[in-house]
Structure 1
Amino acid sequence: MRVSAFRPSPRLAARACGNHPVPMRKFTHAGNHVTLAAQARYITAINTQTGVKRYWSWLSSYLRDKRRLPMPLQTALEHHLAGRLPQAETLYRQILQSDPHQPDALYLLGVMARQLGKPDLAIDFILKAISASPGNPEYHNSLGNAFKDKNQFDEAATRYRQALQIKPDHVEALFNLGNILQQQYRLDDAIDCYRQAIEIRPDFAEALNDLGVALMTQGRLDEAGASFNHAIACKPDYAEAYNNLGVTLKNQKKMEAAIACYHQALAIKPDYAKALFNLGSAYLIQKDFDQAEKWSQASLDINPHQVEAHQNLALIMLETGRLDEAQRYRDLAYRKQAIFIDTAPAPVRTVLVLWAAGKGNVPIDFLLPAKTHTRITWMIEYATEEQAQSLPSYDLVFNAIGDQDVTGPTGAFAARFLGGCNKPILNHPDAVAHTSRDRIPALLGQINQVLVPCTVRLDSKRFKEDLPKLPGIRMPVLVRPSGSHGGDHLVRLESADELHDLAAWNADAYYATSYYDYRSTDGYYRKYRIAFVDRRPYPYHLAIGENWMVHYETAGMLDESWKRAEEALFLANPGSVIGPQAMTAIEAIGRRLDLDYCGLDFSILPDGRVLVFEANATMLIHPEDPNDIFHFKNPHVQRIFDAFDALLTDRTNGVMNAT
């Protein structure tokens, strides 16, 4: 399996798919004869040159004694392996004219049909072979493969289990069943199948790789990394395992090691589009935009239809101020397809997600888990009335467009669509509109014990001239381009000279915000984050740093235990840390925002007031690695997810009861 690290409405980072060459193994001889069915399991490797060479080497040595195989079948199989399929088919059919129930000829015609992309014909031939020889596990295993080609996963699993009933140590059937179970998100059962296969064949690199994918999907990153490393030890030229190891390391925030793995995968397989894409994504995370652009473009050179790579390049262009190019790549990504469906293996509900093609969306991976939520993600800038009329059935709508700066182009269509929608709507765009940076002061500023700094929106072409003239704005002032988050391109200006020297950023507008020194009495800066679910507050994290621009990753939280201890206390009882008056103010903020899901970044001033940094729906909430030093946060994070799931259940049940 190959891991894709990015999706427009992504599953977990370890989402997997792919084909697997089948490794060579020794055959057991039944007297003086090896059945063609036992040999033909390797014909599926015909698509890879390595597989053909490996199979042909074994078959050539076997054919030295030609008495072991009936001549017509031997000749037909030689044609088949050499890719001379018409000649092979003619001989198989001649054999069936003499013996219509000859199982190997029927089976091999089924194998050929599957090679030619005709799974229905393959199923027909292999069922006839099974009827003639029901006790052959190879037939049942190959029948499972044909059903898998048709995405009939339950039927495929049944056929693999039939193979295992006949031969419990059938390693390929165990492996194939594991892949089906992983496709169905039955990860524990898939892991059990892979481990059984590996116990039988300890050097089964493909099973070790797919075991790693399943473990990674469960968040067991250390175990996943060990499995990928084991696969590489068994098969040093295994590009897919290097790529997957890179994804694991990326998820562990070991970016340099991840990048090294992607490079190793590409040294083995230079045209490996997914590794090229993942390498570009890794550099994008590091904000090395030149390298990110280079490798993302190289990925598109191999596969021009990768939506994810177009997305990456659109984001790179946006981050580097090339707005027209960003729009061009968004058009390439979504002009042909604006709706993406991720079908849950164990669906509880189906959610229509309204999504912006640029930045400013609510991170939904953990709010709408892929295992239980079928997600219909609609790129709303590219929506049409025809699409609206043909949407699949859904239970409710979640507006994931959380930034008013990107809502503008989508507003008119979204308003029309939602106006005629009879399903529950979470985070209605009208409520999101009030959370733009320049409107938050009016929305929250009158709440007792809350300070919201004056913020104004300025035309990007005149902001240097207009900023000094504005009433209510004083130096120092924070300046950032519209649509930016996470401190990107945020600067603090101390004087008019610094404003004059500021390098302009290519943006539609700028926000200017009065800066307040929010250091605590101990000299440290503290930034708190609260999530609101159905207007109720849930603590998420506290970062404590020595710089006014506090980021959790760079604030020293990893190295200083007293900071983690204070954060743990905040998570357990936020009111005891920020004070009861501040907690009352936070609760009032949640009610005033009036969103089903959003977040608040804030600090506490020395006089006890809540200093609001920003309040919107775009803030990321995610669990930590269970083996990470920050795992103490996970029970509190889970409370947020549980509250959101309860909200979804309540809204959905409310509609069902009403009808």
Structure 2
Amino acid sequence: MDTALTIKIDAMQKGTEHDAFVSLECAVCQGLAPFLRMSLAGEDLIAKAGELMERVRVCPEDAGSWRDASIALSCLGQAELAQQFLEQALSLCTHYKIQGSASQPILRVLMLMQPGELSANTPLECLLEQAPVEIVQALVTSGQLSSLQVPEHDVLFMAVAESPASQNLLHELELQLASWPRPVINTPQAVLGMARDRVAQLLQGIEGLVVPVTTSYSRATLQPSVLAYPIIIRPLGSQAGHDLACLQHPDELIAYLHKVQADTFYVAPFVDYADRQGLYAKMRIALIDGEPWPCHRALSAHWMVHYVNAGMYEDAAKRAQELIWMQTFSAFLERHVVTLNEVAERLQLPYVLLDLAELQDGRLLLFEADPAMVVHAMDSVELFPYKQVYMGQLREAVVASLVRHAGDVHGVS
């Protein structure tokens, strides 16, 4: 370990416990990471969920197994049943230590989370697998923060994701954490700015960056005949391309509104980002304390690019292009460092992810900025051997950032 880092950790550990924190018995759970790993590997999640459901039948006081069963069911798309299991878990315990956290951690990380679907929180534990940190997750709800009790920690990671459902909680957390005695990574105020329309407004006017203006419409105010086509449309709160569409004509919007029964929608102009071969490349970049790190690059013949369905697992040529992009990331940064620095300055998030494309004219096209997107090193080592290297570098950068922020409050420079 880096000598300076070791000195900083030693100094932090000499700090005293704070009166605001209490000694809490945390349930132990596996968390999302092992279930996501099973899903990506095509392993039998149904059988695993069945094992966990049998475990809680035999031991109904096992809060960790209730929560793990909820996560497994969520991965299987059983949202309603997953919610029932989560509610039972929270009736037993609201604090969970992630199994596999380092036995002798250099850092204690408290993640504040909200109950909900997998996309409701930043899945930090998926990136920090095998990192030398202890992770405790506290699940909190709106209206109950006045009695918030948490264990001692070195740094608080605000994992609640921005969504229509989280607005009240984020505003309450903004007040609760304003004078928090430990460093807070990703303040609620900054996370509130991650709504698609707010991000589009915040990042306008940055040289070298195209950010399509995103507008929120209620169903009643969305008039198909007055929009400039083609457009991108999705319901508020939609993730992973759910009900996302590119529409070319007012008649298509009328048909879309008949099909998608949402009350409010985000609408933005469609920007064609195909390369000269007619392919679409979407890259994910992490900004850690403003420093860019490569996460992945997916290539597809379709404009809606998601890594899991872009053919990256089936096509060695696509993986080879991703590897070249990662190997030459420094050259990418030379072209875009000024732009990305300004993005980081405006977002004010120590941990945030960007989904981008590089247009033929050399500018970057922003699809999304959000700390709650997933990054991990769980892909097949046989298919993606290079991922271990670059995700390992990102993991080390995140741990160093957490240590750096924790050291600030302990007076360590």
1:406 deviates by 4.0
1:413 deviates by 2.9
Is the aligned partner of 1:589 residue 2:343? yes
Query: Structure 1, unaligned stretches of length 5 or more?
Result: 1-6, 15-246, 263-273, 279-295
Among 33, 38, 41, the residue aligned to 1:253: 41
Among 599, 614, 622, the residue aligned to 2:353: 599
SS of 2:311's partner is coil
Which deviations, in whole Å up to 9, do the C-alpha atoms of 1:387-406 show, x marking residues without a partner?
Answer: 42x42211111001232434
Is the aligned partner of 1:564 residue 2:319? yes
1:421 deviates by 0.9
1:634 deviates by 1.9
Match of 1:479 in 2: 233
**TM-score normalised to structure 1 length:** 0.52
Give, in whole Å, the separation in 1 of the partners of 2:78 and 2:265. 15
Is the aligned partner of 1:518 residue 2:277? no
Are the structure 2 counterparts of residues 512 and 333 from structure 1 closer, same or farther at C-alpha, using a change threshold of 3 Å?
farther
How many residues align? The count is 377
SS of 2:138's partner is strand
Are the structure 2 counterparts of residues 345 and 613 from structure 1 closer, same or farther at C-alpha, using a change threshold of 3 Å?
same
Match of 2:246 in 1: 492
Is the aligned partner of 1:452 residue 2:207? no
Give, in whole Å, the separation in 2 of the partners of 1:416 and 1:432. 14
Contact 1:341 1:375 in 2 (8 A): yes
Contact 1:366 1:641 in 2 (8 A): no
Match of 2:114 in 1: 356
Match of 1:536 in 2: 291
Give, in whole Å, the separation in 2 of the partners of 1:334 and 1:315. 19
Taking the TM superposition and a 5 Å limit, the aligned residue runs for 1:140-539 are 250=38, 253-255=41-43, 258=44, 262=47, 275-276=49-50, 306-310=66-70, 331-342=87-98, 344-358=102-116, 359-369=119-129, 372-381=132-141, 384-385=144-145, 387-388=147-148, 390-459=149-218, 462=219, 465-468=221-224, 473-502=227-256, 503-505=258-260, 507=262, 509-539=264-294
Are the structure 2 counterparts of residues 386 and 440 from structure 1 closer, same or farther at C-alpha, using a change threshold of 3 Å?
closer
SS of 2:272's partner is coil
Contact 2:379 2:387 in 1 (8 A): no
Give, in whole Å, the separation in 1 of the partners of 2:298 and 2:279. 10
The farther-off stretch of 633-642 and 305-314 is 305-314
Contact 1:11 1:370 in 2 (8 A): no
1:561 deviates by 3.4
Give, in whole Å, the separation in 2 of the partners of 1:568 and 1:449. 24
- Percent of paired sites with the same residue: 27
SS of 1:438's partner is helix
Match of 1:86 in 2: none
The structure with the greater share of residues assigned to helix is 1
Give, in whole Å, the separation in 2 of the partners of 1:619 and 1:528. 12
Give, in whole Å, the separation in 2 of the partners of 1:357 and 1:347. 26
1:412 deviates by 3.6
Are the structure 2 counterparts of residues 423 and 326 from structure 1 closer, same or farther at C-alpha, using a change threshold of 3 Å?
same
Return the index of the structure with the highest Cα Rg. Answer: 1
The amino acid that maps onto 1:627 is V
SS of 1:657's partner is coil
Are the structure 2 counterparts of residues 309 and 558 from structure 1 closer, same or farther at C-alpha, using a change threshold of 3 Å?
closer
1:547 deviates by 0.7
Contact 1:362 1:617 in 2 (8 A): yes
Are the structure 2 counterparts of residues 507 and 349 from structure 1 closer, same or farther at C-alpha, using a change threshold of 3 Å?
farther
**TM-score normalised to structure 2 length:** 0.79
Give, in whole Å, the separation in 2 of the partners of 1:565 and 1:513. 32
Give, in whole Å, the separation in 1 of the partners of 2:76 and 2:390. 34
Q: CA RMSD in A?
A: 3.3
The amino acid that maps onto 1:574 is F
Taking the TM superposition and a 5 Å limit, the aligned residue runs for 1:560-639 are 560-574=315-329, 576=331, 578=332, 580-625=334-379, 627-639=381-393
Match of 1:555 in 2: 310
Which deviations, in whole Å up to 9, do the C-alpha atoms of 1:231-278 show, x marking residues without a partner?
Answer: xxxxxxxxxxxxxxxx98x355224xx269x3xxxxxxxxxxx55167
Compare relative contact order (CA 8 Å, sep 6+) and give the higher one, 1 or 2: 2
